[in-house]
Structure 1
Amino acid sequence: MKNGVKSVLLGSSLLAVLALSACGNSSDASTNSAKKDSVSKVSRKSASKKASEKSSLKKAKATEESATEKESEKKAEEQKNQEAAQKASAEAAQSASVTEAQAQPAQQVSQAAGATAPAAQTNNAGGQNTANNTQPAASSETLLNVPFISQGDTMLCEGTSLLMALHYKGVTGQGIYQFVNSMPRSSDNNPYNGYAGEWSHNVDGTYQGMMAAPVVQWANSVGGHATGISGLEAVKNSVRNGNPAVTWITYQYAAPEFKQMPWGRAVWNGHVVLVDGVKPGYIHVVDPVFGASWIGESTFANSFNTTGMAVSVG
C-alpha cells in the first residue's frame, strides 16, 4: 500500500514538473513570438518612414528643379524681350537720324542766322588763318579723331575743348589743371576780356566762361595757331582742312536761355565743344562732358547758330 501510494505520488510529481516545464516553454515561445512581432512592426514602420522621407525628398527636389527650370525660362524670356527692345530702340534712333538728315533744308548748312560774334572779337584773333576759311576739295566724310579730355568737375568747357585741339596739334601735353594757369582772366567779369567768374566751382548769378577772342589769345600764347571764325560753313571748312574748331553751343542742344548782363546778353545755358568731323547730314563733336559722338547737322546748327561763334585751331 505504501509502495502504491509512493508510486502515485511520484507520478503526480513528475506530471506536475512536466506541466510546469511545458508552461515555461509555452511562455517563452509566446514572449519570443511577441518580440519578433514587435521588431517586425518597428522594422516595417522604419522602412515605411524611410520610404516616405525618400519620396518627400524626391518631390522636393523635383519641385526645386521645376522652379529652377521655370526661373531659367523666365530669365531667358526677359533677356529675349530686352534684346528685342534694344534692337527696336536702335533701329528707331537710326531711322530718326536718317529722317532728320533727309529733311534738312539745303540752305541750313550755309546760314549763320545773323548770330555772329561781335566784330571786335573776330579782330582780336591776331593773324587771319585763311586756310581755315577756304573751301577744300569735296569729301564725303572727314574725321580727325581728336582724343577726348574730360573737364571733370571744373567749369572749363572752353579751356578743355581748346586743350583737346592743342593736344591733337602737338602744341602741348599739359593736363587741364596745368593748362588753366596760362588762361587769360577778366578783371571785370566780362567774358570778352578773359575768363569771367570762378573756373573751379559754380557761382550763382555770375556768367562763368569766356568768348572766342580770349580763347584765341590763350591758344596763341602757348604756341598754337588759332583764329576766330563765324558760321557753320566756316567750321566745316576748318575741319576739312585738318583743323578742329572750338564751338559755342547750348548745353545738350537745348533751346537757349538768355540773361542780360552789364556787358551784354548772355546765353545762360551755354556750353563749348570741339568739332572734329563732318559728313553729309552730321557733325562729329568731342564734348568735354559727354565724349565723342555724331550729331545731326540740323540739331547742331540750331544750337550753334545761337552765337555762330567758333575758333579754328591750326
Structure 2
Amino acid sequence: MDILLDAPNIDQYAWGAINGCEAASLLEGLHSQGKLLEVNYGEFLKKMPIDQAGNPNRGFGGSPFRNAHGKFEAIFVKPLADWAANYTNYRDLSNQGVESIYESVKNGDPVLAYVTVHFEEPKIETYPFGEVPINNHAVLVDGITDFRVHVSDPIDGTYYLDKAKFVHIYQTRNMALAILK
C-alpha cells in the first residue's frame, strides 16, 4: 500500500522564519485539502495566535522570526487546533498512537505531527510550563508505504523516512493533528 497525498511544501526559512514550523505544516495541510489557497505563509504567520508570556500551551511562544531568551518559540496542539478551527475541521490525534496517523493519511487527511528537527533525539530543557525538547519541530505526514512515511518538512523539504525512525521520534512527543477535508 503506497499512499501519497502530495502536499505542497513551504520552506519556512525562505520567508525568514527561523521558527514557525507548526504554522507552515498547518498551512501545507490546509493547501493540500484545497483550503486557503490564496493565503501565503507570510500572511498566515500574521494570523497565528501569540502568547506574550512565551507559553506554547496558550499560543505561539515568541516570534517566528527571532529567538528570545526565556521564550519557547512553538505552539502546541490545543492552541494550534483552536486556530485551525477557523479554517477547517480537524481531529486531535495526540496520544492515540501512530496507527491513527496512518489511518488518517489512508483516509486522505494529512497529519501535522510534532517531532524533532531532523528527527534527532530530543534535547530536553525545563521551562516554567514544563520540560520540552528545545529541538522541537512539526512536519506534515502526507504519505505512507509499508515501511516508510512521507513528510513535508518546513525545514528539510519533502522526503520519505523509515517508519521505525518516525515512530521512535514521534512517540517522544505523541502530539498530532489531522487536517480534515
C-alpha distance in structure 2 between counterparts of 1:219 and 1:206, whole Å: 23
Q: Can you give the 5+ residue segments of structure 1 that lack an aligned partner in the other structure?
A: 1-139
User: Counterpart of 1:143?
Assistant: 4
Give CA-to-partner distance per residue, 1:66-105, whole Å, 9 cap, x none.
xxxxxxxxxxxxxxxxxxxxxxxxxxxxxxxxxxxxxxxx
User: Counterpart of 1:187?
Assistant: 52
Letter in 2 for 1:150: D
Output the TM-score relative to the length of structure 2: 0.92
Task: Say if 1:227 and 1:187 are closer, same or farther in 2 by CA, change over 3 A.
Answer: farther
Deviation at 1:181, TM superposition (A): 2.0
**For 1:41-56, what aligned pairs fall within 5 Å after superposition?**
none
1:200 pairs with 2:65:
yes
C-alpha distance in structure 2 between counterparts of 1:265 and 1:235, whole Å: 24
Larger Rg: 1
Deviation at 1:204, TM superposition (A): 3.5
User: Counterpart of 2:150?
Assistant: 284
User: Counterpart of 1:219?
Assistant: 84
Letter in 2 for 1:165: G
Deviation at 1:206, TM superposition (A): 2.1
User: Counterpart of 1:311?
Assistant: 177
Q: Per residue, is there more helix in 1 or in 2?
A: 1
Deviation at 1:203, TM superposition (A): 2.0
Residue 85 of structure 2: SS of its match in structure 1?
Answer: helix
Letter in 2 for 1:151: Q
**For 1:6-155, what aligned pairs fall within 5 Å after superposition?**
140-152=1-13, 153-154=16-17, 155=19
Residue 234 of structure 1: SS of its match in structure 2?
Answer: helix
Residue 7 of structure 2: SS of its match in structure 1?
Answer: coil
Residue 12 of structure 2: SS of its match in structure 1?
Answer: coil
Higher relative contact order (CA 8 A, sep 6+): 2
Letter in 2 for 1:142: I
Give CA-to-partner distance per residue, 1:101-125, whole Å, 9 cap, x none.
xxxxxxxxxxxxxxxxxxxxxxxxx
Give CA-to-partner distance per residue, 1:137-165, whole Å, 9 cap, x none.
xxx11110111111123011000000011
Alignment coverage as a number of residue pairs: 174
1:268 pairs with 2:134:
yes
Residue 214 of structure 1: SS of its match in structure 2?
Answer: helix
User: Counterpart of 1:157?
Assistant: 21
Q: Is the CA contact 2:53–2:71 (under 8 Å) kept in the aligned structure 1?
A: no
Letter in 1 for 2:6: N
C-alpha distance in structure 2 between counterparts of 1:198 and 1:146, whole Å: 25
C-alpha distance in structure 2 between counterparts of 1:204 and 1:272, whole Å: 21
C-alpha distance in structure 1 between counterparts of 2:41 and 2:62, whole Å: 17
Cα RMSD of the aligned pairs, angstroms, is 1.1
Give CA-to-partner distance per residue, 1:229-271, whole Å, 9 cap, x none.
1221111111011000000001111111111111111111111
User: Counterpart of 2:121?
Assistant: 255
User: Counterpart of 2:93?
Assistant: 229
Letter in 2 for 1:163: L
Aligned residues with identical type, % of pairs: 30
Question: Runs of 4 or more off by more than 6 Å in structure 1?
Answer: none
Deviation at 1:220, TM superposition (A): 1.2
Residue 294 of structure 1: SS of its match in structure 2?
Answer: strand
C-alpha distance in structure 1 between counterparts of 2:35 and 2:4, whole Å: 20
Output the TM-score relative to the length of structure 1: 0.54
C-alpha distance in structure 2 between counterparts of 1:185 and 1:207, whole Å: 11
Letter in 1 for 2:74: G
Letter in 1 for 2:88: G
Deviation at 1:302, TM superposition (A): 1.1
Deviation at 1:275, TM superposition (A): 0.2
